Amino acid sequence: MRVVLENVSKKFGSVLAVEEVSFEVEEGELFFLLGPSGCGKTTLLRLIAGFISPDRGKILFGEKLMNEVPPNRRNTGMVFQNYALWPHMTVRKNVEYGLRVRKIPSRERLKAVDEVLSLVRMSGFGDRYPNELSGGQQQRVALARVLVVRPDVLLLDEPLSNLDAKLRIEMRDEIRRIHKESGITFVYVTHDQKEALSMADRIALMNEGRIEQIGTPRDIYSAPKSKFTAMFLGRMNPIPGRVVRVTPGGEIVVGTAVGEIRTDKPVEEVSVGEDVECLIRPEAMRILSEEWALAGERNVLKGTVVDHAYLGEIDEFQVQLVDGSKVRVYVASSESKGVERKKEVAVAFDVGDVLLCKPSSGLAGEER
């Protein structure tokens, strides 16, 4: 089922929770609403489900206007953070419940429950009770209970937030598999950017009730259209400076306290003489300790390694630059040998890896 929102707004008292939001979820798509707490993403999910009505705008399923259609007539399913399983019912009874409410004949119910338990890989668990299951198994049952009624749209409200880190990663793969095999349209709310980047077909990034950017995970991460988007997804090293010139080839040269930085990726329009910030991701930086390795590098900053954290597949180094500021640099653990504290190094990065923005006092949800 295709889901369309056109200029949807919702107010709670004096608080504008959702403001003029428009987007389209394609049929069979795994679509994410991502953003910091309080940005309006759960309100949007509740609007789609029909638990609340929009003050303005339209919500359509296909070509049908749904604004005044009650939740029980929208054929949506919802998976909550706490799973909401009936503790006194077995797995089979929990999954079967929605079919009983719809008065589906017994033989059809049994077949449908067996099929959906197989889909979520819970065959053989039908006679267990929720308190006899792990968190991941309970999550699968919650998915099965919704999928068994064949909803047109499946809504998921931070469904993995109660799981431990390892199980969350495993369930990401399972939800993608279930989505692909079921062919149902999924709308998934989360504040976890890794969850969204690793799972989504497309992401709508929200900020203060509005959509900042919509696109594939790669597009939003590598080509942000606002400073909020750049700072919210992943980490950034911000280096303040001033635009000193623009080269004939279109490169923007920024003078900073740690040296000149060149870029060809302004997120916002800037002019010569304007104060700006250069944003560089830690994984885009390279640590070079040999002079001959600097040949041909366009952006090079000198500094000293002052801290180090081993994170398994990567090493995180903090390098203090000549003005006393620090940048984070991620290096693959297999390539970090020889980089030590107190060692003088050069930090290099490509022109295309520098995002140029106007400075601001702070951003909701930014991560440094």
Residue whose C-alpha is closest to residue 343's, from 317, 311, 313: 317
Q: How many C-beta atoms lie closer than 10 Å to residue 32's C-beta?
A: 27
Over residues 263-281, the pLDDT tens digits come to 998 887 888 999 999 999 9
Q: What is the pLDDT of residue 290?
A: 63
Terminal Cα-to-Cα distance of the chain (whole angstroms)? 38
3-class secondary structure, 77: strand
Tokens of residue 92, six digits: 């089979």
Q: Token match 């597009």: residue?
A: 219
Q: What is the mean pLDDT of residues 17-42?
A: 96
DSSP string over 243-277: EEEE-TTS-EEEEETTEEEEESEESS---TT-EEE
Q: What is the mean pLDDT of the chain?
A: 91
Q: What is the pLDDT of residues 281-320, one digit of tens each?
A: 999 999 986 665 566 778 999 999 999 999 888 999 999 9
Tell me how far apart the alpha carbons of residues 242 and 229 are, in angstroms, rounded to a whole number: 22
Phi-psi region of 86 (alpha: psi -120 to 50; beta: other; left: phi over 0): beta
Q: Which long-range contacts (CB under 8 A, 24 or more apart) does 107-114 make?
A: 112/148, 113/144, 113/148
Q: Distance between CA 142 and CA 160 in Å, rounded?
A: 12
Whether the CB-CB separation of 266 and 230 falls below 8 Å is answered with no
Give per-residue pLDDT as tens, 200-216. Answer: 999 999 999 999 999 99
Quick one: how far is CA 135 from the chain centroid?
A: 22
- The proportion of the chain whose per-residue pLDDT surpasses 90, expressed as a percent, equals 74
Spatial separation of the C-alpha atoms in residues 147 and 285, rounded to whole Å: 45
Burial track 52-83 (b if 16+ CB lie within 10 A, e otherwise): eebeebebebeeeebeeeeeeebebbbbeeeb
| Alpha-carbon gap, residue 58 to 76, rounded angstroms | 17
Tell me the per-residue pLDDT of 147-164, one tens digit each, with 9 for 90 and over: 999 999 999 999 888 888
* Residue 30: per-residue pLDDT: 97
pLDDT at position 334, please? 83
Please say if the pLDDT value at position 364 is more than 50. no
Predicted local distance difference test score (pLDDT) of residue 362: 41
**367 pLDDT more than 80:** no
pLDDT at 293: 58
% helix, strand, coil for the chain, step of 5: 30, 35, 35
Mean pLDDT, to the nearest integer, of 70-80?
92
For 299-333, letters b (16+ CB in 10 Å) and e give: bbbebebeeeeeeeebbbbbbebeeebebbbbbee
Task: Count CB-CB contacts under 10 A for residue 257.
Answer: 12
How far is 147 from 134, CA to CA, in rounded Å? 20
What is the average pLDDT across 66-71?
Answer: 94
% of the chain surpassing 70 pLDDT:
95
Token look-up 């911000």 returns: 238
Spell out the domains of the chain, with CATH numbers in brackets: 3-230 (3.40.50.300), 231-357 (2.40.50.100)
**pLDDT value of residue 363:** 41
